């Protein structure tokens, strides 16, 4: 009997229905006896396919580990390098999100949409901060080939505005090929109190961490558990583990026992350290004997003082910063050892490719003096007042612990990047040449004469095609119904096995925040761009990096034709890869798209609401006046606790009731300021905190109860940039507290009374808001023209 309709009217609109037996390779009768079964083929990786582990460090300089000249003990990494390969001429991007996009896709980051870190939305293709479906990630390709895929640690490929519980998760790890994820979506965090941990697709609601918690240990625990679980369930399936540390990005924090091992190690200063590391690098064959060590960085605003010219108290403080940094590197190696031990216990270390590298060079963001107040030092604003607190005095014993958020002075970053010039953010070698170790005992067999050191030029986009090549996995021609875009990287597998093999990567453009470079066959054209300066050929310097790898001798005056040729090549590559428009002083980078306007509406939060995500919280207060209203249904004598908190030890504020008194705590980048608003009488009460934005990036707070003003605080510096790092909590002060003394007295201090709600009312943008500043800059530019 036919079940089709005879009517032709509307036939084209008939709902689609697929034949359930379509493409079945067996046969189907009315019974099992009359049928022949068949099973669909599942993707299976090549026989003997290796596991792949990528250990990705954050802001680690070229010389910060043993195989590249460091004095920091890294015995686990040393052993991997001894039986593996070191790439001495491996290049990356100068900032983290672009580097991560390039590593995971094999494509230049601007064309993927990562011209900058994932904390901007100026409205241009190069700043899309989303990996398109026609650019499959390394994880997607390996997963589709039958690999298990895991990611732990730092992600930073989702825009900050897409990191909340209500966000479109299309660019979160699980939607980009990873089957499990645990870590922090943003670019940095507190290692003792991570501000927002995410498991798979869900932010975790955490009040407090256990005693002795340390994030680097935690993500390693998670990675080890993932591997163990896989092997318990499937003895054969290979895995890809992307272990992306937040270390050694600031704020610098380390466990006390790790810091103690490095006490006194850096008392000799950064000049002596740099020379000692360089000597070890040359002795290890990383550079020819004739290679020169550049003078200390001397560029304006990036310069480094001679260690011997510092006062003794400065030397003592600065050495302490570096002890913490070294302890972080030490701890990473310890945790790498736990992972390696797990692989060895499972009998899989020999057939595991382990890659160890960094996303960019060491960071000079700590300034000339470093800081014990990282978020205020890290603040970027064209109108920072002269009294801005870029550093906050601290008890030296707190440096590196949970109560201080520190960064080292750029003299140590210079030493981290030995033997190169400049830092993270720059296209000079200090920003883009990083350590690279690859170990695969079963697959890479070195001859006795091969020391494993490779000097060929390679680029971060080469890593994905190389790993696919080594695993025997083909990149697909199509993905999610679309043809895939070509990769920019090329496999360097031949270089790994043959020290004499030529690199297939012969040309490469680079750009970051206006700093530009172009590499071709041993010559490098590069700029150190000054904001506001024109983008013209006068910026270019030219180096023969085969003879002058440390970029000391500028050849531009002798070779103007080559400068012109490479400059034109950079321009063509920039257009081809979506680099334009370049950044300028207009303030456009600070602006956000119209979809964010709703984030500035009033918001009411009920008790029990999980902590509001950092960026979502910041839109309620940043650069503006605002009010916070807490409604108490019936305050009773003895009720106590936090009504609302926002922030942590790096900066924040909290409103709380203790011993019957209403109090306000303001953590001004580490300086705690407290205001007593007097007693609360029993009954229903409306408590209001009103912040008024004043010129000079300042706030003044007024506290009132039932409409009657109780107290007015002194004028304080606004919390801007990444502060407050921890989001808004109602009825509790979670994780890292705003007030450490209050935390010592009461812990998270959950409110015990009847709190009905907390409402935020964002006011008008203040006189120093990005919108106001950008408008002023545009008007000034128009007047100038």
What amino acid positions are annotated as catalytic residues? 96, 156
How far apart CA 241 and CA 51 sit, in angstroms, is 8
For helices 215-233 and 312-345, angle between their N-to-C axes, nearest 10 degrees: 10
Q: Around Cβ 776, how many Cβ atoms within 10 Å?
A: 14
Q: How many CA atoms lie within 13 A of 586 on its CB side?
A: 12
| DSSP track, 186-236 | SS---SSS-S--EETTEE---S-PPTT--HHHHHHHHHHHHHHHHHHH-SS
Output DSSP code: residue 104.
H
Is residue 518 helix, strand or coil?
Answer: strand
| The two structure tokens encoding residue 117 | 């870190």
Instruction: Indicate the Cα dihedral angle 405, 409, 415, 417, nearest 10°.
Output: 70
CB 646 within 8 Å of CB 727: yes
CA-wise closest residue to 217 among 331, 310, 117: 331
Within 8 A by CB and 6+ apart from 346, the residues are 227, 228, 231
SS (H, E, C) 13-76: HCCCCCCCCCCCCCECCCCHHHCECCCCCCCCCCCCCCEEEEEEECCCCCCCCHHHCCCCCCHH
CB 179 within 8 Å of CB 148: yes
| The two structure tokens encoding residue 204 | 């975790």
Instruction: Indicate the Cα dihedral angle 68, 72, 73, 75, nearest 10°.
Output: -30
The sheet that has 202-203: what strands, in order across it? 202-203, 198-199, 180-184, 148-154, 239-244, 51-57, 352-358, 436-439, 85-87, 453-454
CB 440 within 8 Å of CB 84: yes
CB 438 within 8 Å of CB 355: yes
Q: Around Cβ 520, how many Cβ atoms within 10 Å?
A: 16
CB 67 within 8 Å of CB 74: yes
Q: Around Cβ 472, how many Cβ atoms within 10 Å?
A: 13
Is residue 243 helix, strand or coil?
Answer: strand
SS (H, E, C) 649-677: CCEEEEEEEECCEEEEEEEECCEEEEEEE
How far apart CA 281 and CA 297 sit, in angstroms, is 19
Give φ, ψ of 590 to 5 degrees: -85, -10
CB 365 within 8 Å of CB 424: yes
CB 414 within 8 Å of CB 270: yes
How far apart CA 566 and CA 509 sit, in angstroms, is 10
How far apart CA 187 and CA 155 sit, in angstroms, is 7
For helices 463-471 and 96-105, angle between their N-to-C axes, nearest 10 degrees: 30
């Amino acid at each position: 009997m036919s079940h089709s309709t005879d009517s032709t009217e509307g036939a084209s609109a008939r709902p689609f229905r697929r034949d359930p037996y379509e493409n079945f390779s067996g046969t189907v009768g009315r019974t099992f006896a009359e049928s022949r079964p068949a099973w669909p083929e599942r993707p299976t990786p090549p026989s003997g396919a290796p596991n792949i582990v990528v250990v990705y460090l954050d802001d680690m300089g070229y010389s910060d580990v043993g195989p590249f000249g460091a004095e920091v003990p890294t015995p686990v990494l040393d052993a991997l390098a001894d039986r593996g390969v070191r790439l001495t001429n491996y290049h990356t991007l100068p900032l983290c999100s672009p580097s991560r996009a390039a590593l995971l896709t094999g494509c230049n980051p601007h064309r993927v949409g990562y011209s900058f870190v994932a904390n901007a939305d100026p409205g241009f293709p190069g700043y899309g901060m989303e990996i398109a479906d026609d650019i499959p990630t390394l994880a997607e390709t390996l997963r589709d080939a039958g690999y298990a895929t895991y990611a732990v640690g730092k992600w930073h490929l989702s825009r900050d505005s897409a990191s909340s519980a209500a966000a479109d998760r299309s660019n979160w790890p699980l939607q980009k090929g990873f089957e499990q994820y645990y870590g922090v979506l943003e670019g940095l965090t507190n290692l003792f109190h991570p501000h927002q941990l995410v498991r798979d697709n869900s932010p975790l609601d955490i009040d407090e961490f256990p005693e002795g918690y340390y994030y680097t240990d935690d993500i390693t625990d998670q990675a080890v558990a993932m591997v163990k679980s896989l092997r318990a369930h499937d003895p054969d399936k290979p895995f890809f583990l992307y272990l992306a540390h937040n270390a050694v990005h600031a704020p610098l924090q380390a466990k006390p026992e790790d810091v103690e091992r490095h006490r006194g190690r850096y008392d000799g200063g950064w000049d002596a350290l740099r020379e000692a590391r360089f000597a070890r690098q040359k002795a290890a064959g990383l550079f020819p004997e004739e290679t020169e060590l550049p003078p200390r960085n001397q560029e304006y605003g990036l310069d480094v003082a001679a260690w011997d010219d510092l006062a003794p108290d400065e030397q003592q403080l600065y050495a302490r910063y570096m002890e913490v940094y070294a302890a972080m590197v030490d701890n990473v190696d310890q945790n790498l050892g736990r992972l390696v031990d797990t692989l060895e216990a499972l009998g899989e270390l020999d057939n595991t490719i382990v890659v160890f590298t960094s996303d960019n060079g060491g960071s000079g963001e700590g300034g000339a003096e470093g800081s014990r107040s990282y978020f205020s030092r890290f603040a970027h604003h064209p109108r920072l007042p002269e009294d801005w607190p870029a550093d906050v005095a601290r008890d030296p014993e707190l440096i590196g612990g949970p109560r201080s958020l520190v960064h080292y002075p750029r003299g140590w970053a210079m030493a981290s990047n030995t033997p190169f010039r400049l830092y993270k953010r720059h296209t000079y070698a200090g920003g883009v040449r990083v350590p690279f170790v690859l170990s695969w005992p079963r697959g890479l067999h070195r001859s006795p004469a091969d020391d494993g050191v490779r000097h060929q030029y390679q680029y971060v986009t080469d890593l994905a095609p190389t790993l696919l090549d080594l695993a025997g996995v083909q990149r697909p021609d199509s993905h999610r119904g679309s043809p895939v875009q070509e990769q920019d990287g090329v496999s360097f597998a031949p270089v790994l096995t043959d020290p004499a093999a030529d690199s297939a990567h012969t040309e490469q453009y680079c750009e970051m925040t206006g700093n530009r470079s172009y590499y071709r066959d041993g010559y490098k054209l590069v700029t150190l761009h000054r904001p506001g300066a024109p983008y013209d050929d006068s910026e270019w310097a030219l180096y023969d990096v085969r003879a002058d790898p440390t970029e000391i001798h500028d050849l531009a005056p002798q070779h103007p034709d080559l400068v012109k040729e490479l400059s034109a090549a950079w321009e063509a590559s920039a257009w081809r890869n979506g680099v334009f428009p370049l950044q300028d002083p207009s303030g456009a980078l600070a602006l956000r798209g119209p979809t964010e306007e709703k984030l500035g509406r009033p918001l009411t939060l009920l008790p029990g609401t999980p902590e509001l995500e950092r960026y979502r919280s910041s839109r309620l207060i940043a650069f503006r006046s605002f009010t916070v209203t807490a409604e108490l249904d019936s305050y009773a004598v003895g009720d106590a606790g936090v009504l609302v908190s926002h922030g942590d030890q790096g900066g924040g504020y909290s409103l709380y009731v203790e011993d019957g008194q209403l109090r306000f705590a303001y953590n001004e980048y580490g300086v705690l300021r407290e205001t007593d608003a007097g007693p609360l009488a029993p009954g229903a009460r409306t408590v209001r905190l009103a912040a008024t934005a004043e010129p000079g990036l300042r706030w003044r707070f007024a506290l009132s109860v039932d409409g009657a003003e109780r107290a007015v605080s002194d004028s304080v510096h606004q919390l801007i940039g990444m502060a407050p790092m921890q989001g808004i909590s109602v009825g509790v002060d979670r994780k890292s507290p705003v007030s450490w003394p209050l935390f010592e007295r009461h812990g998270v201090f959950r409110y015990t009374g009847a709190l009905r709600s907390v409402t935020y009312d964002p006011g008008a943008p203040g006189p120093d808001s990005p919108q106001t500043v950008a408008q002023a800059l545009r008007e000034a530019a128009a007047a100038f023209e």
